[in-house]
Structure 1
Amino acid sequence: MIGRIKGYLLEKIPPIILIDCQGVGYEIEVPMTTFFDLPDEGSEITLLTHLIVREDAQLLFGFATAAERQMFRQLIKVNGIGAKVALSILGSIGSSDLADAIQHDDINMLVKIPGIGKKTAERLVLELKDRLKDLHIDPSVKKHATHIEDIENALISLGYSAKDASMAIKLLPENISINDGIRQALKSLSNNA
């Protein structure tokens, strides 16, 4: 299975991107949450991936974070939720908000997602509630997102552009502390200068 891709972003046509990885162009479908955070074309990027092999196609899906990929993998296990619907869900609500809605039985939040009706929302809660506890997607993802925002804000306050700060934080591991994150981000920014 292809678990990660690192290469140069050649094209961005929602929801598909094209990445050149040592001369091979990979078409990758990404949720809109990942798509909006992509750098400019020509930039180097790294995405976590999930490959689905069907009789008529091989489909590669890309994600900015491990939590997003974990949530995608759980969503496609739910009866009636295919890869396209799972991408739509993640693009609409994000993995941490989705985990929060499922943990708190918030059916009203789930039915606001395009293509999700009441029965599907109830099925999502029923089938995913226990699985998400095992994956630790719920509170830790929100904590990480807050840490990342704090790190990004610190870099901007130190005089880096929002684009540079955004690129630097994408390289950070998920469970990094604020201090270590700032330190590593500054190191990567100084290496790129």
Structure 2
Amino acid sequence: MIGRISGKLVHKRPPEILVDVGGVGYEVQVPLTTLFQLPEPGADITLVTHHAVREDAHTLYGFIEPSDRELFRLLIKVSNVGPKLALTILSGLESDAFVRCVQREEVSTLVALPGVGRKTAERLVMEMRDKLRDWQSAPGEISAPCEAGSMPRPGAIIADAEGALVALGYKPTEAAKMVAAVNDDSVADSEELIRRALRSVVSA
């Protein structure tokens, strides 16, 4: 099984990145909380990974923080929660925020995430509450790096943000409304727009 991957970041398009390891390109699915911490393409990165094996596919899921991978593995053990939904949950909420929601039984916040209905949210609380009782937060706060670069076209920023939200499970019309509600002249790139859109949903 593949537990870690180190190499050069080739490209990133939510929720997938491509990492070149010795001339071999690995496609890795990552939550947005990890994507926002990654440098620009061309830089070297290291991720801890979860290697999911099915009859029809081998999929790598990558994380900056080992604690995020630990939570991902706990999530996919919950009834009716597969890797795709687990990735969506970790994209919409940072790990510590999700743990707090479960510990405080804040079902309404979980329901705001795409693909998480009330029954699923209640199941997450019921099945994970005891497992997360002694959760240790990762050191430091997760934040996106601010790096200079060429300014993308406004239309491309919106399209990328909407595409990322659709990939996470939102309907195209929902994604368009979420992006339109938080888009203004201060948005520098699609990652910032995605982050704002997700925050607006879980804080509503």
Q: Calculate the TM-score normalised by the size of structure 1.
A: 0.72
After TM superposition, the structure 1 = structure 2 runs for residues 1-193 of structure 1, keeping only pairs within 5 Å, are 1-134=1-134, 136-137=135-136, 140-141=137-138, 144-146=139-141, 162-163=146-147
- Secondary structure of 1:126's counterpart equals helix
Taking the aligned partners of 1:145 and 1:101, their CA distance within structure 2 comes to: 19
Stretches of structure 2 lacking an aligned partner (at least 5 in a row) = 149-204
- Secondary structure of 2:110's counterpart equals helix
- Secondary structure of 1:38's counterpart equals coil
Taking the aligned partners of 1:34 and 1:72, their CA distance within structure 2 comes to: 12
Letter in 2 for 1:100: R
Taking the aligned partners of 1:14 and 1:163, their CA distance within structure 2 comes to: 18
Taking the aligned partners of 1:111 and 1:77, their CA distance within structure 2 comes to: 19
* Residue range with higher mean Cα deviation, 108-117 or 91-100: 108-117
Shift of 1:112: 1.2
Taking the aligned partners of 1:13 and 1:105, their CA distance within structure 2 comes to: 33
- The Cα offsets for residues 149-189 of structure 1, whole Å up to 9 and x where unpaired, read as 7xx9xxxxxxxx9549xxxxxxxxxxxxxxxxxxxxxxxxx
- Secondary structure of 2:140's counterpart equals helix
- Secondary structure of 2:34's counterpart equals helix
Taking the aligned partners of 1:15 and 1:162, their CA distance within structure 2 comes to: 20
Stretches of structure 1 lacking an aligned partner (at least 5 in a row) = 153-160, 165-193
- Secondary structure of 2:115's counterpart equals coil
- Secondary structure of 2:131's counterpart equals helix
Stretches (4+) displaced over 3 A:
161-164
Shift of 1:38: 1.2
Q: Which structure is higher in RCO with an 8 Å CA cutoff and minimum separation 6?
A: 2
Percent identity for Structure 1 against Structure 2: 49
Taking the aligned partners of 1:133 and 1:66, their CA distance within structure 2 comes to: 18
Taking the aligned partners of 1:32 and 1:71, their CA distance within structure 2 comes to: 15
| Alpha-carbon RMSD | 2.0
Taking the aligned partners of 1:125 and 1:24, their CA distance within structure 2 comes to: 40
- The Cα offsets for residues 51-99 of structure 1, whole Å up to 9 and x where unpaired, read as 0000000000000101110110000000110100000000001111000
Shift of 1:109: 1.3
- Secondary structure of 2:105's counterpart equals coil
Quick check: which one's helix share is greater?
1
Q: Calculate the TM-score normalised by the size of structure 2.
A: 0.68
Letter in 2 for 1:145: G
- Secondary structure of 2:84's counterpart equals helix
